[in-house]
Structure 1
Amino acid sequence: MRFERSHTRKAAFLAVASSLALLATACGGDDGSSGSGGSSSANALEGRGPITLASGKDTSGNLQNQLNAWNAAHPTEKVELKELPDDADAQRQQMVQNAQNQSDAYSVLVMDVVWTSEFAANQWITQIPEDKVPDLGKLVPATVETAKYRDKLYGVPITSDGGLLYYRKDLLTAAGITDAPKTWDELLADCQKVAATPGGKGLNCYAGQFEKYEGLTVNFSEAVNSAGGQIVDKDGKPNVDTPEALAGLQELQNGFKTGAIPKAAITYKEEESRRAFQDGKLLFLRNWPYVYSLANKTDGSSKIAGKFAVAPLPGKDGPGVSSLGGHDYAISSFAKNKATAVDFINFMASEAQQKDNLSKTSLAPTWASLYDDPTLIKQFPYLPQLKASIASAQPRPRVVKYGDVTAAIQQAAYDALSKGTDPKTALSGLQTKLESLITQ
């Protein structure tokens, strides 16, 4: 910082002291922000006017409706949607590039729950004092934790997610099966029974998301966790070179080898797998709650409307463990009009908006009471299962270098599933890689 020379030594001293005080304030010395991550909080949340919302593609069509409602009530503080690609990795890449350029193009970021540590540690998002979010205590506690870094809040959870097992109830019933499978072995046995019926001929057994992107990290994590393993243990150390992790990866690899998982599934992301299920090509599908409304549409876009049901994911010896998904709304450190951004986030987090969004899109809310709403349960019978899925879900590794960590996981899993790499070799290499990336 350059100071102009004062005419007197006293004036110079006062100028320097004043400037240093201002600099300390700007650096967040006393505002509660952590010294190693996140921008300052209270003093940063200033400015009113138009803002932008950077989000993945709005496949539901309802996000713009919610923005229209906000814009109608706030004509001088309108929100413009900046639509990013479908792919979560591509979304993150664009947000990172925007932050590295210190661009104010994005005001509010719709962030995958696993990005918080990375963005906060790099000071790409702004700390939000908890008293600025009046409804925070009414949200599902597990979802609030996803928005924290070093016990400080850097976002607000707007949607949550738990993996669910979608299945063709009509075909299971026709095969004499009354309950959804609780284990992998039961699922495979059900596929054999259905395949022997007229309605099951030519039907593929199961699919998830196995393309080399974030969805593969999710599916791999669920396979490992459902077999009793962990990607990272309770002490924050990598833990994938274990019998449990091996059992999980072998289950997926064997699925591809035997044809229980179709070869095409190695290219599936969420939307490809959803369309395969809706087109009547799959008996079982692992996917998120958003699929429910789309698969039940009666406009001709789904061949299975009214023919499917939802259950918890299967595991090795009983119900499996979902990865905790969802999206938090965070404020870019380089955004203008942060006060407007806070108000907009609170609007989107409100019970009314979350209930509206659930009703129209089947996206999982973070507002806890909505899971017990009788009217909503009548519309979405799976809500109790989803609540249990989210409550028992395991987070993906909450690490600063998450981009590198998830890339390593994806590569190891993809090699085992697409190239036939020995699972033990893949996991041993992954353990070494993660140890170099995750430091305490």
Structure 2
Amino acid sequence: MLSGARSGRRRLAAFAALTLSVSLLTACGDDSGPPTLTWYINPDNGGQGRLAEQCAASSNGAYQVDVQVLPNDASQQREQLVRRLAAQDSSIDLMSLDPPFVAEFANAGFLRPFDPGDVATFTTGVLKGPLTTAYWKDQLVAAPFWANTQLLWYRKSVVQAAGVDPGAAGFTWDAMIKAAEGQNKVVGVQANRYEGYMVWINALVVSAGGEIVGNVEAGKDATPEIASPAGDEAARIVGGLARSPAAPPAMPNAIEEDARSSFQGSRGAFMVNWPYVYNAAKEDVASGGISQSVVDDIGWARYPRVTADRPSRPPLGGINLAVGNFTKHPDQAVALVKCVTSLPNNIAYMLDAGNPAARGAAYDDPKVREAFPMADIIRTSINDAGPRPITPYYNDVSTSVQLTWHPPGEVEAPATPKETATFMSDVLQGKRLL
């Protein structure tokens, strides 16, 4: 997966050698006193850094923590970590890992599996959705820290005028798009050619009862399954919305914030997006960007169904914590994971950073329920969520989908899913480069 042109291999080899030499120089430093654990994190509002300080302080001098912030883009986060770990960088004690990359890292030997005696500590009370992403080959290789999901957000005034109930059990994408069209409004989605688009497509496919790729244990011999009735339904919805009057302006370039902007505008009706959007809207009121009446008009429901007779499988996001397999301080790193992922710190981080907890009991906390009035729907959605394909070749799978399904206005069933299946198979077999 990392191979390419010869010049690319030379650059990667040089980078790996440089990274390894830096790690060795660091390892030759002063070993007196408690070890300093390096935790590579995804960007947030500083909440992970504050947890690191608290856990170090409560360790009774067992360790200190140095937090290193990775890029905003998930793919760039993966690239930085892969390059360091490929060089067996011992300075990566702990990492905040996007769930789709867990299988790849574990399969490459980059992650230290947790001891059987610690498994219960990291899994008891964790919601089913994130728990499925923490294993590889029956070993727990990551600990769910926080989870995420998308909800259906709607403008109360619009649904009232349209005479629809987004909270009804059988509410579908078709009903939503039809209601938006009837009111001359738009549906906010993420359809740029990036990971957020893959999130949407995967949610549609699994909600229709299918999967994008099967037999993932076979690695490069995995079987693309997107050319199926479920894949056709997903293509029909994506292409249908893109060609509909309900498509927001510049839909092919839309990411989360673009969807939120459309939704909060005068033509906003519906939006699928992460829970952060609710507090973000309240912050917009405080800054004078929108009026309080917009926030008062926002409602929420579970992710819409593809077919009325099948419950939706909402998207799954979040962060798992994994210990680097080359760390010189595995016991202290595991102790840090135990501290960070504890129920009290799940609650504290959800309140601090606004990211939903992986442990179900966190949603019963009174302060959480006050801050997140949609807490029950978030918890149920995370528990029932459909993870993206769990495969060590996830980057190839995701990129194959993004390339063949973009722009969304050209997506059609069954042509697009068939094209994706062929393209993906060629990529996995090394017959085609991304």
Matched, 1:409 2:395: no
1:299 matches 2:282: no
Matched, 1:270 2:256: yes
CA distance in 1, matches of 2:373, 2:57: 33
Greater gyration radius: 1
Q: Distance in 1 between matches of 2:179 and 2:258?
A: 23
Q: Number of aligned pairs?
A: 382
Whether 2:170 is the aligned partner of 1:214: answer no
Does the residue aligned with 1:158 lie in a helix, a strand or coil? strand
Query: Could you say which residue in structure 1 is the equivalent of 2:71?
Result: 85
What SS class does the counterpart of residue 110 from structure 2 fall into? Answer: coil
For residue 415 of structure 2, what is the aligned residue in structure 1? 425
Contact 1:48 1:338 in 2 (8 A): no
Does structure 2 retain, via aligned residues, the 8 Å contact 1:214–1:406? yes
Does 2:372 align with 1:380? yes
| 1:78 aligned partner, one-letter code | Q
1:154 aligned to 2:141?
yes
1:316 maps onto 2:306 in alignment: yes
Other structure's SS at 2:322 match:
strand
1:408–1:300 distance in 2 versus 1, CA, 3 Å: same
Deviations 1:122-147 (A, max 9, x none): 01111111423525322224422311
Q: 1:328 to 1:424 in 2, by over 3 A?
A: same
1:364 aligns with 2:345: no
Gaps of 5+ in 1: 1-46, 196-203
Matches within 5 A, 1:26-425: 49-58=35-44, 60-74=45-59, 77-132=63-118, 134-173=121-160, 177=164, 179-180=166-167, 182-195=171-184, 205-233=186-214, 237-278=223-264, 282-297=268-283, 298-300=285-287, 303=290, 304-318=294-308, 319-373=311-365, 376-415=368-407, 417=408, 420=410, 422-425=412-415
Distance 1:175 1:249, change over 3 A: closer
TM-score by length of 2: 0.79
Cα distance change on mapping 1:187 and 1:380 into 2, 3 Å: same
Tell me how far apart the structure 1 counterparts of residues 183 and 371 of structure 2 sit (CA, whole Å).
28
For 2:415 and 2:422, the matched residues in 1 are separated by: 11
Whole-Å Cα distance in 2 between the matches of residues 80 and 281 of structure 1? Answer: 46
Amino acid in structure 1 at the alignment position of 2:188 = A
- Corresponding residue number in structure 1 for 2:11: none
Other structure's SS at 1:258 match: coil
Output the TM-score relative to the length of structure 1: 0.78
Give, in angstroms, the shift of residue 408 of structure 1: 0.7
Task: Give yes or no for contact 2:38–2:92 (8 Å, CA) kept in 1.
Answer: yes
Determine the C-alpha separation between the residues in 2 that align with 1:117 and 1:173: 45
Secondary structure of 2:419's counterpart equals helix
The answer to whether the 8 Å contact 1:401/1:437 transfers is no
Query: How far, CA to CA, are the matches of 2:251 and 2:277 in structure 1?
Result: 17
Structure 2 letter corresponding to 1:139? V
Q: Hey, what does 1:13 align to over in structure 2?
A: none
What value does the CA root-mean-square deviation take over the aligned residues? Answer: 2.7
User: Which SS does the other structure have where 1:432 is aligned?
Assistant: helix
Query: Using a 3 Å threshold, how does the CA distance of structure 1 residues 179 and 286 change in structure 2: closer, same or farther?
Result: closer
Q: Is the 8 A contact 2:172 2:305 kept in 1?
A: yes
